[in-house]
Amino acid sequence: MIDTRTAPYAALTLRVSLGILFLAHAGLKVFVFTPAGAAGFFESLGLPGALAYLTILAEILGGIALIAGVYTRIVAVALIPILLGAIFTVHGAAGFFFDNEGGGWEYPAFWIVALIVQSLLGDGAHALRPTTRITR
């Protein structure tokens, strides 16, 4: 049974955590690797360099939208392809565990599951554009 008193706060906690993670990953690409460096890395994987800029933009906008609670369900699902791309182009060959050399796919896969859970839960408490109401 779902506790209707605390479930909105659970969704809020997950939503904000996911948003912060996406902003952190965008920040890593912008401030540490630089956008040009991220584009070069994408090209080294055989992907178009421009995809790095699109990924950074999606992570920033998606992270902000999740934190704010705007179109939460849609944004959560829309961000999944970024993580699938990370699994299939970078982490998949390193095996399952993320502490393997090259980082395995364990962490991005868990992140995908968390996004799916968020899309099922909806906005939660304190969303700027609530689309889901939990009722008794």
The Cα–Cα gap between 62 and 70 comes to: 9
Residue 91: per-residue pLDDT: 92
The Cα–Cα gap between 58 and 46 comes to: 20
Residue 98: per-residue pLDDT: 86
Q: Which two tokens stand for residue 3?
A: 């506790």
Q: Is the pTM higher than 0.85?
A: yes
pLDDT at 19 over 80: yes
Task: Convert the pLDDT of each residue in 45-74 to its tens digit.
Answer: 999 999 999 999 999 999 999 999 999 999
The Cα–Cα gap between 87 and 90 comes to: 6
pLDDT at 24 over 90: yes
pLDDT at 133 over 90: no
Q: What is the dihedral of CA 66, 68, 72, 77, to 10 degrees?
A: -20
Report whether 122 contacts 73 (CB < 8 A): yes
Question: Which among 21, 15, 10 has a CA at the least distance from the CA of 82?
Answer: 21
Task: Convert the pLDDT of each residue in 68-108 to its tens digit.
Answer: 999 999 999 999 999 999 999 999 999 999 889 988 999 99
pLDDT at 131 over 80: no
* 129 φ/ψ angles, rounded to the nearest 5 degrees: -130, 75
Residue 1: per-residue pLDDT: 84
Q: Which two tokens stand for residue 80?
A: 């999944």
Residue 31: per-residue pLDDT: 98
> Considering only 16-25, 56-65, 71-80, 125-134, which range has the smallest mean pLDDT?
125-134
